Amino acid sequence: MLLKKQTVWLLTMLSLVVVLSVYYITSPEQTKNELASVQEKAKTEKENSQSNSKTEAKDEKTVVSTVAGDAEFEKLRLELDEARGEKLEELTAIMATTDLPADERMKAKDQMEKLNDIARKEDLLETMIRSMGYEDALVRADGEKVRVTVKSNKKHSKSEANKIILEVKKEMEDINIVAVEFQPSK
């Protein structure tokens, strides 16, 4: 006895519905309150991990803190992030436009990658400078210039500034001008 394709398909779907129904009925129920508590626990854990972003030293190793050092630094970081975000949105709009030739869209894509790369390098440099023993650092790359602002209680010297400049030039090879400014911590 030969079954038609439609019949086989119908029997398969019906058996699938039956299996899923049995699974749904026999599975343990989860009430909305339980789901809310699970989501609340996850949210609390996420907030705790963000607020406790200081790392503790074990075996006398270097401690790197990602906690913001100063409101002024945070304000400048936010402004820089907003400006980059707007530029990335513009470039995304250019890439999405089908009226433009492919080479212009590729240029926009390259600029997006360059902006993301610069942001990544700035974050890396800030972390490296903090690991050198400074309280906080702000790195802003603009074209061929990089401005580094370092917050420290230490007595700053030309040799300390030169170490920072060397690190910046090592990370960003195409940079010609690096300015280092020291700010005393409060």
- pLDDT digits over 30-88, tens only? 554 444 444 455 555 545 544 444 443 333 333 333 344 468 888 888 888 898 889 98
Count of beta carbons in the 10 Å neighbourhood of residue 182: 17
Residues linked to residue 29 through DSSP beta bridges, in sequence order:
none
Does the pLDDT at position 149 exceed 70? yes
| Long-range contacts, stretch 16-23, CB < 8 angstroms, 24+ apart | none
User: Whole-angstrom Cα distance, residue 145 to residue 172?
Assistant: 10
Phi, psi of 147 (to 5 degrees): -110, 125
Residues 57, 62, 64, 69, Cα dihedral to 10°: 100
Going by pLDDT thresholds of 50, 70 and 90, the confidence category of residue 1 is low
User: What pLDDT, on the 0 to 100 scale, is given for residue 59?
Assistant: 38
- Which residue type, as a one-letter code, is found at position 158? K
- pLDDT digits over 91-140, tens only? 888 888 878 888 888 898 899 899 889 889 888 998 998 888 888 888 98
